Chain A
Amino acid sequence: MTAPTAAPAASPAAASPADPGTARVELLTGGAWVPVCDWPLLTPGRGVAVLLPDGRQAAVFRDRRDRVWAVGNRDPFTGAHVLSRGLLGSAAGGGPYVASPLLKQRFDLATGVCLDDPSVRIPVHAVRVAD
């Protein structure tokens, strides 16, 4: 189980699955791969919330290039579990981020670091698309 602040930068899942019809998205937590959902349920540019076995929540996103990312769903600035409902963006020269729907702070999806306040960081999970 990865401690929130010590989470390694996750590498996103490789681009589009061989067979989108049957592919499933999975997330690594507590040393095990947990099923998230079927691939077609993800909309490019948006996220979904996932309830993890230990009661925590994750936010899983699919970006424009069909890469998948997962971070903690809790917005550390408000405590609300809403990051999965934020919009994806990308800064010039940087990777994708999610903007909190509440107060709009942005979090880098690869590292979990808050782009508006680098002292704040959210957990990151490894994800994969399994055929």
Chain B
Amino acid sequence: MTDTLEKPVVVLVGYGMVGHRLLEALAENGAAARLRVVVLAEEPRPAYDRVRLTSYFSGLTAEDLLLGEEGFAERHGFEVRLGDPAVAVDRAARTVTARSGLVVRYDTLVLATGSYPFVPPVEGRDATGCFVYRTVEDLLAIEEYARGARVGAVVGGGLLGLEAAGALKGLGLETHVVEFAPRLMPVQVDDGGGEALRRTVEELGVVVHTGVGTKAVAVDAAGAVTGMAFTDGSGLAADLVVFSAGVRPRDALARDCGLEVGERGGVRVDADCRSVTDPRVFAIGECAQAVDGRVYGLVAPGYEMAQAVAAQLAGGTGTFTGADLSTKLKLLGVDVASFGDAFAASEGALEVVYSDSRSGVYKKLVVTADGALLGGILVGDAEAYAALRPLAGTGTPLPAPPEALVLPAGAGAPAALGPSALPDDAVVCNCHNVTKGAVRAAVAEHACTTVPEVKACTRAGTGCGSCVRLLTSLVHDELEASGVAVDRGLCPCFARTRAELYEIVRVTGTATHAELLDRYGREEARGGEGCEVCKPTVASVVASLAPELDAPAHILDGEQAALQDTNDHFLANLQRNGSYSVVPRIPGGEITPERLIVIGEVARDFGLYTKITGGQRIDLFGARVDQLPQIWSRLVAAGFESGHAYGKSLRTVKSCVGSTWCRYGVQDSVAMAIRLELRYRGLRSPHKLKSAVSGCARECAEARGKDFGVIATSAGWNLYVGGNGGADPRHADLLAQDLDDEGLVRLVDRFLMFYIRTADRLERTSAWLERIDGGLDHVRDVVVGDSLGICGELEALMARHVGRYQDEWAATLADPERLRRFVSFVNAPGVPDPTVRFVPERDQVRPDLEVLLSEDDLLRSLDPDGPGRDRTDRPDRSSDGAPGRAPLLEVRSR
């Protein structure tokens, strides 16, 4: 025994989700400092988010799934021994022995060993190619084996089985689900729900076999899986089998040391979560049988148990007496939710059912005779889950008749169930057990004014994310109630958001601002001019959807001409003295010496200030409106195109030099950057878009600071999204990995179009990802898993954008109508604007701002007969090839 410390010793056996929650709670309530905490962990890695395990297949790495931030254990002094499970407990001596031989004496023992997957005792179950689905290691093994497999079968059609099926499908296998019960998810849904569920799952391309038992796994001579034999005599050829037939509490350690376990397993504990046999031992999470006699297979009840034990270890009190078994399936693109008394088991319970087998929608609400909600099942459309679940079991009558709540939107007068209907004690966030009252208090008492602040303050919404929408409307309601105006509308003219306008334009085909304003604007704004916010927004939406709308392809045609901000209007960037800057496109930052010389010559001839940008191109400053067409005719003649630096659109795709030259590079990052930049050039979006491609993990192109960044791997490309530099830096999140060229482009197509469709005005991808319901996981479900079934549409829209692309500057130069606007004065087309003046600095020019300070001084300085001020005009050798000073009011023609 080396333990000479005075501090009481807590030994935690098992470092899974619930064990980690216990450690967090001990750190939060201060007990960590007064205790010595030793953690014996079987798995080789720190606790990770098992609930989101399947996200590994949609691009998250094992590291992304970790629950604690780096250095968590060290910071709080927790002694975590990874890969060193407990093998024996001696309760008399109060010691735990670990596999390494270490013996630790405890004052308090906490068991959090979780569950193990149950594998039915069928012949062949140990064959090569049979797996379970519980740990990261399981996933790695499945992924590896699936490479050589064609058909996969999942035994078990419950929550986890369907998740596993989704994963196999995602790995490209022909996927079968075999369920012994007559319906899928038998624990959560009834027959009607199961039928609707089956239909949707089948539509996802998964073959469903219900009412069949697995008799044996067929095995070849080498001991590998070749198929399955069923109890009804039929069979199925398969290369890979995943057992997902339920879990059993891991209570062997407890049994061996004489602790009482329940009939169907689980360490029996009292309301304090203490073993009924030994008060020095706690059991929490899936390995415990709670005081209500149940073993909970969900994470939220486990978290509550962990909180209760942490409170007691801190000297306070805490109990766990039972919890709600609500579930919402997260994967596969199927909406399934089941909550409260879903099977109408309570006395006097009534059922209200809506079922449409054609569309695979099934909704059932279980209510009391006086209309209070007890529970329900929602399949195919679980939209109402977030609002309904917190109401179940509260005894408060529903705010609308239950029939109205199950009808689909549009049929009859469906009741929109507002969050205002929830009582204060209703649990809004199930994952962290946060009530509506706590959310309101965060706003009213802790002065939180945004959803992210409330999330940080209450933890609500930081688990599975399914409650974020409800949370958002609660926070807004509360802010409104406390007098803070939260108008979610775009501007004083429209009460709708940009995303809503996008949908209106898309669905109704309304393609002009005037028409939109008069039909969908705020009452008081109809018939008016609109404003400087909604005009460019509508212009951008119309430009994004132009291929679908039959709208003009050029942003300066038709009504769009009047809606564009000055930058888009003159296809250049307005600078502080009224001059413009010009940025030709240099795709991927690759440029020939000849073109570089042309840029230099143009800059020299027009006296432009020249600066290299962060996006690997060249910005030319100080052009007057009337010079823009002249500058561009030279650039276009040399093969340059608009760089769209003026638009809310794709800026650059930066690249490192890649495998062609760099000895570390593993892919041709320059070629990919050029391909992406040429593909998405001109695409109008809610905000500017930046991108980069790095040729290896050294990341020289800084792709993770971009809206979409690509990093080469030896197997292909990893795609990161939602990064940002600037004032609000954010590292991009991994969306998918090891994509081939075509797969990468397809995914970027979908991602960008989904962003354009759903983002708010001026919302960068980083803010968008943090805001939208379900965050990155949701985006991944939509663009990788096609959970909304819109990927085809998104790709088609992008394809049409690409097909219709034209260089805006070349098209402008070709059209005298469009060129007409490029004059300084409508009544003196040849006269340059005399107020745009420059002074020298470091061998170049900079705007003369002093001249703008007073209008009278300016006029005096312009008077050729007056005393004049000592100003230098910039060198201008465009007409005679020699640098010189041009008289200010001279009309130049080149």
Contacts and interface: CB of A to CB of B under 8 A. Distances in A.
A55 B865 CA distance: 14
Interface in A16-72: 34-37, 41, 43-46, 48-51, 54-57, 60, 63-64
B651 to A, nearest CB: 20
B561 A88 contact: no
Contacts of A79: 849, 852-855
Interface of A: 34-37, 41, 43-46, 48-51, 54-57, 60, 63-64, 74, 78-82, 85-93, 96, 99, 101-102, 104, 106
Contacts of A37: 826-827
Nearest to A43: B562
Contact of B834 (A55, A63, A104): A55
B833 A81 contact: yes
Contact of B825 (A50, A74, A91): A50
Contact of A96 (B529, B569, B576, B852): B529
B561 A43 contact: yes
A41 B531 contact: no
B492 A92 contact: yes
Contact of B578 (A55, A82, A90): A82
B61 to A, nearest CB: 43
A48 to B, nearest CB: 4
B824 interface: yes
A80 B577 contact: yes
B828 interface: yes
Most chain A CB within 10 A, of B531, B563, B570, B853, is at B531
Interface string B816-845: 000010001111100101111000000000
Contacts of B863: 55
A48 B835 CA distance: 16
The list of the 8 closest CB pairs from A to B, nearest first, reads A79-B852, A89-B531, A45-B562, A90-B529, A48-B826, A101-B566, A99-B532, A92-B524
Contacts of B826: 36-37, 41, 48-50, 60
Given A55-B863, A78-B852, A92-B522, 19 more contacts: A34-B827, A43-B562, A44-B562, A46-B562, A57-B835, A60-B826, A79-B855, A80-B577, A81-B578, A87-B565, A87-B566, A89-B529, A90-B529, A92-B492, A92-B525, A96-B529, A101-B565, A102-B576, A106-B532
Contacts of A54: 859
A91 B533 CA distance: 12
A106 to B, nearest CB: 8
B578 A80 contact: yes
Given A64-B514, A78-B852, A49 B824 contact: yes
B161 interface: no
B855 to A, nearest CB: 6
B85 interface: no
B530 interface: yes
A44 B562 CA distance: 7
Contacts of B536: 87
Contacts of B437: none
Contacts of A106: 532
Contact of A82 (B535, B574, B820, B855): B574
Contacts of A104: 532
B530 A90 contact: yes
Given A37-B826, A51-B831, A56-B855, A45 B578 contact: no
B862 interface: yes
Interface string B789-832: 00000000000000000000000000000001000111110010
Contacts of A92: 492, 522, 524-525, 528
Contacts of A91: 492, 531
7 contacts: A55-B834, A57-B825, A80-B576, A86-B566, A92-B522, A92-B524, A99-B531
B420 to A, nearest CB: 28
A93 B536 CA distance: 22
A93 B492 CA distance: 12
A33 to B, nearest CB: 12
B839 to A, nearest CB: 15
Nearest to A34: B827
A79 B576 CA distance: 9
A44 B528 CA distance: 12
Contacts of B525: 90, 92
A89 B530 contact: yes
A35 B95 CA distance: 100
B563 A45 contact: yes
A82 B863 CA distance: 21
B578 A87 contact: no
Interface string B511-540: 000100000001011001111100110000
B820 A41 contact: yes
A56 B859 contact: yes
Nearest to B522: A92
Nearest to A79: B852
A24 B836 CA distance: 28
Given A86-B566, A102-B576, A64 B859 contact: no
Contact of A102 (B524, B562, B574): B574
A87 B532 contact: yes
A45 B826 CA distance: 16
Nearest to A25: B826
A83 to B, nearest CB: 10
B574 A51 contact: no
B565 A74 contact: no
A51 B566 contact: no
Contacts of B562: 43-46
Contacts of A90: 525, 528-531
Given A41-B826, A46-B562, A56-B855, A89 B532 contact: yes
A113 B529 CA distance: 18
Most chain B CB within 10 A, of A49, A54, A93, is at A49
Given A44-B562, A82-B566, A49 B825 contact: yes
A87 B530 CA distance: 10
A106 B529 CA distance: 13
A87 to B, nearest CB: 4
Contacts of A89: 493, 528-532, 535
B835 A80 contact: yes
A43 B577 CA distance: 24
Interface in B840-870: 849, 852-855, 859, 862-863
Most chain B CB within 10 A, of A35, A80, A92, A101, is at A80
A62 B607 CA distance: 34
A20 B535 CA distance: 26
Nearest to B517: A64
A85 B859 CA distance: 21
